[in-house]
Structure formats: structure tokens, C-alpha cells
Amino acid sequence: MEPDVSMETGSMIRIAVLPIGGPIPHQRVREYVSMLSRHTRIDLSSISSFYSEHQKSPFTHQPWESGSLRFKYMVGGAPPSPWEDFQAHRKILAVIGLCHCPASPDLDLVIDQFASVSRGYGSAVAKRLFAFSPSDEQQLIILSNFSQQVVCSREAFQTPENFTAGRMEEMG
């Protein structure tokens, strides 16, 4: 039996959480990860389907009233599993990059670094980069469909609606 495996493990969407840019103080990493950890379960009733009526949705029989999305955050990432082709729950389906702006003055370099690191997760269908505590000199950019990356401020994690909206668009 593997460590950290339960009956529910197979129902979770695995997400790699990676520090990007300059060194992030441990206290900040814990704070940023705790913001993510508040969103380990999202009720399907709190989000809307991204399919329109004329599209053939694979989620037609999904229980939107009682179902939920469950996330497992793999802080620091995870190596590819040799079993992921046989057991889909082992795949990393999303990558989240965390950047602490005071430690990373050049956000363009951070975006390039994130793009490079996230290429290692070929099974990821959504990739997001969050930059926290930008200075007045740093241009805050939000890129919704540019290479599936987003750079934004701390408010992105505050509500489940903000957190899942972009993810559902990318997974569709």
C-alpha cells in the first residue's frame, strides 16, 4: 500500500503547486498553500457548466446538484507515475505556480520560468501562475488565454467562484 492513499484518492484531481521565481519565505509559502487548501472540495452546484446546449457535453449525466470536484494539491510537484496511463487519478491535471513578487522583480522572467517548468507536466490541462504582493513598479498583468497562464493578485483565492472559473474554462 502506498503512503497517503485512501478510498477517496481516486476521486481527486491532482494539482502540482510549484514555487516560481525567487526564493519565497517559508511562512509565505504556508500562507499561499493554506489559501489553496480552503478549496479542496467545490460543489458542482456552485459552478456552471461551460457547455452550451448545442454542444455534446460529456457531463450530461453528472449530478450537478449533489456532485463535487475534489482537489489534491501536490506542493512541490510530483514526478510522473508509471501507472498514470492505467490509473487516470495519478495524473497531474493542473499546475499552479506561486510567485512572491518582492523576491521576483522581473515578472516576464517568472512567466518564462513557469512556462518552462509546467512543460514537464504534459497531462496538465490547466496551468495558472499567481503572483502575490506586487510592488508599484511591477506591472500587474492578467493573461486569461495566453499559454493558459494567469498572473494576478491575492484576491484570486478568496472565493471558490474566482478560483474555479478559470479552471473550468480550461478543462472544457
The string of pLDDT tens digits covering residues 21-79 is: 999 999 999 999 999 899 899 888 887 766 666 667 666 777 778 888 899 999 998 88
Number of folded domains in the chain? 1
Quote the pTM value.
0.75
Residue 157 scores a pLDDT above 50: no
pLDDT at 54: 60
Q: Look at strands 13-19 and 68-75 and give their pairing.
A: parallel
Domain presence at residue 88: yes
The domain that holds 131 is classified in CATH as 3.40.50
- Find all residues with CB under 8 Å of 150, minimum gap 6, and list them: 128, 129, 130, 142, 143, 144, 156, 166
Show Cβ contacts of residue 105 under 8 Å, excluding neighbours closer than 6 positions.
135, 137, 138
Domain range spanning residue 92?
9-43+67-171
